[in-house]
Structure 1
Amino acid sequence: MSEPEPRPEPAPEGSTCAVHEDRPALVTCPRCGNYCCLACWHQAQSRCHACLLRDPQPPVPWADPSKSLAARFVTTLAHAFSPTKSAPTFSHGVWTKGISFALLTALPLALLTGIIPFTHRLRFGPSFIVSTIGTPTDAELGLDIAQAIGLGLLFVITKLVLLGAPYLSLSKAYGQPNDAHPSRQVLLYRGWLLVLGGQTGAILSLVVWGLPAEPDNTWLLFAEVASLLPLMLLLWSMTATARMSGVGPFAAMAVTLVPFVALFLIEPLLIDIVRPLLPDPELMREAAQRIVNSAPVAV
């Protein structure tokens, strides 16, 4: 059996942090014996930030050459559901390896996410039915889908910039230098959560597609909650990873909340800007009504 981790002890009264000499020390690191302030101490790992970077950590599964491609992919996806436990893997390794994972996850979702809400010639729903609006030719239908894909991709890129730019900047400003760039890694390995969630996310589109013709408030509430779950996971992951960048616990919440607040405020404005390019709601309602009227009546 492995020996238990030594328990941390309080720092002596009047002592200061070994890294931030202007801050009072909170804990004595059981690994190295240095005094740590609140920002340098990692409670979940029971060590200071310097020891966390020195100690060997398992790599991000996607960057582990000992695993098969399928195992690396599935395990990396699964790690998104344990943000605190998996965050230390972002404190080591090469951040550029996450680019290929982002291309395999976030990019395909981004290409598909605009089809349901932004097509003019197809009506999605109710109850997972797909019907054409009018009598479009194959060329018109293809161009319409291509435009919807492009609009959806534009939304995803804009959302990623709105979220990522301030997060990277604030993590760098309040954190400590780290060649592994944890903040970049979390955006690459968890970016697919951003594509799934929100008002223009894939989950909300799929849930709305499957709703009955006249959904009650319970179904509408379910759709809203389902669209928020990926964003909550992403918020948790980004906060835990900000700690791996050396950001203090309270500052880590601010570093993450500021980009999310900006995203939630600006996303509705983006929808208003592109509204002239969106499908006509009246035509969509008429198409849905035709589907309901043509449905067989149960005896």
Structure 2
Amino acid sequence: MTTHAPQTPGHPLPTGFPAGTMILTRRGLVPIEEVIAGDDVFTHQRLWRPVTAAMRTTAPTVRVHCASLASGLAATADRPFLTRVARVFLEGGEAGELSSAGWTRARDLAEGHRLASPLDFGKPVPVPDLPASLTGIDPADVLRTAGNMIRLKGEAAAALRPELVDWLAAQFGGYGARRRFPAWALTMPEELRTAFLDGLVNDGPQRDQFAVRMHSKSFMVGLRLLVCSLGFAGGLSSQGRPGKPGWLLSWKREGGRRPDHDGFRWHPVTRVEHGPEAEVFSLSVAEDESYIADGIAVRNRTERLTSL
């Protein structure tokens, strides 16, 4: 059972995120309430660093909306986000009037701020060994088939390569909301990431516009990061209803603005809304106190690290 230390009386409230916020850990995209001390998380310096403590409390929240995350990211108002300021982005992704990177509290985000999503994921996490029966087969073909099987599901998927069924279940979880996205899928060479994505969307090379719908937030947040890492422009939004979560990721092969700089894509903030008081979770991370939440680079309040 995952445990998080409660807020200590008399100490400042930690900044945090509600349950269900997906954190990029070495074991994949994991809900923040399931991240524990000892887990390695990916930081804004594109390094894997261990979580040293996990905490929870109750606090007011805000919801930050940006161009690539239409449903927004809920956080406490003092949570710092990695930002640059650029009021103009030129076609083709070149940035005009782009400021240096810094940290901006959620409550201070405004028009002109850009939030950061990583485009590369540092040293590769090893791809788990494939079934012995697939030894000698081009890994790109295997990953393409794996993507196709995730798209098809059930008996139709099993008919493609029965020997991959157990491997897929071990690496990507079950169907529906139980599907998850492993970290190694983000750190694969571009050829393998492309093959996996082509299998997932089917007929990838012949299409210009794509959309994937799934019930799993873990899988869809990871897929958005993978799509961005391959140079596509797109966005993720919630398509669910009470009791039945759903997510839509759409992107184009060509067109759209890609504000990429210094290993990150910089997404324009569209608005910040007041949210409800909620139970929130916070992580302390060795060295730089940052991590990736719902695909966005965030950090603890550095002036109060000893309280987190």
Choose 1 or 2 for highest CA Rg: 1
TM-score norm. by structure 2 comes to: 0.22
Larger helix share, 1 or 2: 1
Higher relative CO (CA 8 A, sep ≥ 6), structure 1 or 2?
Answer: 2
TM-score norm. by structure 1 comes to: 0.22
